[in-house]
Chain A
Amino acid sequence: MTHAAAVMRSPAGRELGAGVYNEKLGIWVFLGSEVMFFTALIGSYIILRFANPGAFAHPGTVLNIPVTATNTFLLICSSVTMVKAFAAANMGDMAKMKLYLVATTLIGAAFVGVQIYEYTHLIHAGFLPSGIREGSELAELAAAGELGLGTADPAVAGVYGSSFYTMTGFHGFHVTCGVVCLAYLSINAFRGKYTQADHRGIEVVGLYWHFVDLVWIILFTIVYLV
């Protein structure tokens, strides 16, 4: 039994617990709390949508689907590069690990960039957290019935903007935290901190990153496409 193998498993000399090392158990436990946090936000959106269907525009009329579909694809790519980085470390190929880590970091940063671009355009067009801005381009479209809102009164569409920005905003915040962690991992990797014997950081941040991707997969569908 090598010390190396011992590090990536449970703490030795203890009762058999989860069967995995502390940090890995810790991140899964923490992700449980994140599920509940997004449940509050996304669950509220679902509820508000059923309560007031007329307040939500038809897909594609307000939100930019091509841009965000591309962003979805980017995030999926970053997920595969993340797990490839972990697999590389696991197999002892540190060069590949570094490559994939940097790739994940950059793609993640790109996602955030695209989301900022999306937000600025939406705000410019008049889509705000408080609803549709009076006198804006979208307000005119709403009045003309182009958005599929159940009512022509843009004030009622308030809950649409509220839920959109809160959900995607907090998701974006989580992605940003992830990118910061990934940058930190990449720097560490180039300093030779990770070995085949001990690459816990990669796995732990990886699990967080996949979770963030998972949440986006759900968000993209139920916010943009439905």
Chain B
Amino acid sequence: MPYDPKMVQPMREELTRIGVQELLTPADVDAFMGQKTGTTLIVVNSVCGCAAGTARPGVRLALESDVKPDRVATVFAGQDLDAVAKVRGYFGQFPPSSPSMALFKDGQVVHFVPRHVIEGRDAVGVANHLVEAFQKHCVPAGAK
């Protein structure tokens, strides 16, 4: 049974207030993922402790980098069930995991961060891990 939406709202806003687009329905997901060109980060948010202490702060720090994805969106596991199922369909071979993050380039997953990788790091470690992937796959803002 999903958690109380009022309890979850601050967890959503931790990402949406830094400009991450929230995808609430399968239609939202398909519309967002329909744009294949460029780089996209999808964050699967969750209520668990490693999302609060590590994943969300790590995403926030990583998005302060000069090199970052063109677009960033999020779905909330255990809450927006249909949207999460839809987005996982875009993850291909990667098993469901929450929290998790997937970096897409031109519509293909080029880097995936499953929950157990997040568990092994603090927020700065997650940010560094993401920024490494951004530097490998994304175009610096000044070079666009």
The answer to whether A and B interact is no
Q: Tell me the B residues contacting A by CB distance below 8 Å.
A: none
| Chain A residues with a Cβ under 8 A of chain B | none
